[in-house]
Amino acid sequence: MGATIVDALSTGQCIHLPNVKKSSNLVKSYLGFDPIHKQFKVLLNTATPGVSDEHQVLTLGTPNHSWRKVKCCCISYCYPHSNDGICINGGVYYVAAVNMDPFVNAIVCFDVKSEKLRIVYKAKEDMLLWSDSTLVNYKGKLGAFVGGGPGVGGVVTGQNFELWVLVDAEKHEWSKHLYVLSPLWKNVVAESDLCFVGVTGKDEIVLSELYISDPFYVYYYNIKSNTVTRVEIQGMSAFKDFIVHASLDHVEDVKLMQNV
């Protein structure tokens, strides 16, 4: 298998990675950054659901870069649900199904520096994590939005939702933040299916529509004032009905990645 990383937002540059030996066609990959050694690494998971899994790591920018296997010491089986992980302070987090008799949803952390995996969330009675729940960076800490239910965990389906913030990874301690939306919420969003995108530095939760429409809107929910601002994005008619993939805090950098 040949793998490719695309940095389309900044330069459009493609980095072709070495072939991967794998036993399954189900492949998930995540990009992480080690702030200590200033290194980018790719974590690759190939798995057969319920049967086997395998983790491989590649360091970008090394002269003879090649894939190497790493073991997850905390669990016997781990299959990622998330197509996108989130990297915070040298840790890549993603939602996965883990074998804990029975299988449960968990949040796994890959430490980019040590190349070790561990669980930072496992089943809690009061925190219902779904396979498609959205992970975000909340003031430098890992946050998880809990929306509707199975299949719509990353979508706002009612008048309230929960944001859980990781307090202590070793003890699996999380703090709960419940947000009750204004009665005027539905007047603004109408019948749109909104997905969680993330949280800005100004305490605004950003949501976008699930599919591109014309007009297309992005919504900013202010946590402190309990108000919502709707922003129209023009020129999207050519991409109508495509699934939206939105991201926050992008800073344009036209410098090409070197020595990769």
Please write the tens of the pLDDT for every residue from 85-102. 899 999 999 988 877 556
pLDDT given at position 259: 47
Number of structural domains (the chain) is: 1
Residue 91, domain extent: 1-123
Q: Is residue 57 part of a domain?
A: yes
Q: Is residue 49 part of a domain?
A: yes
- Cβ burial of 72 (10 Å; 0-12, 13-18, 19+) is buried
How far is Cα 256 from Cα 197, in angstroms, rounded to an integer? 27
Cis-peptide into 215, omega within 30 deg: yes
Q: Is residue 253 part of a domain?
A: no
Phi, psi of 169 (to 5 degrees): -70, -35
**Measured CA distances, 242 to 196, 245, 248 (Å):** 17, 10, 19
Chain centroid to CA 190: how far?
A: 27
Q: Is residue 114 part of a domain?
A: yes
Q: What tokens appear for 257 in the block?
A: 């990645």
Q: Is residue 232 part of a domain?
A: no
Strand order in the sheet with 173-180: 134-138, 141-146, 160-168, 173-180
Q: Is residue 177 part of a domain?
A: no
Chain centroid to CA 78: how far?
A: 16
On the CB side of 180, how many CA atoms lie within 13 Å of its CA? 1
How far is Cα 96 from Cα 238, in angstroms, rounded to an integer? 35
Q: Is residue 254 part of a domain?
A: no
Q: Is residue 6 part of a domain?
A: yes
The list of the chain residues with pLDDT below 50 reads 6, 8, 150-151, 254, 256-260
pTM for this model (two decimals):
0.83
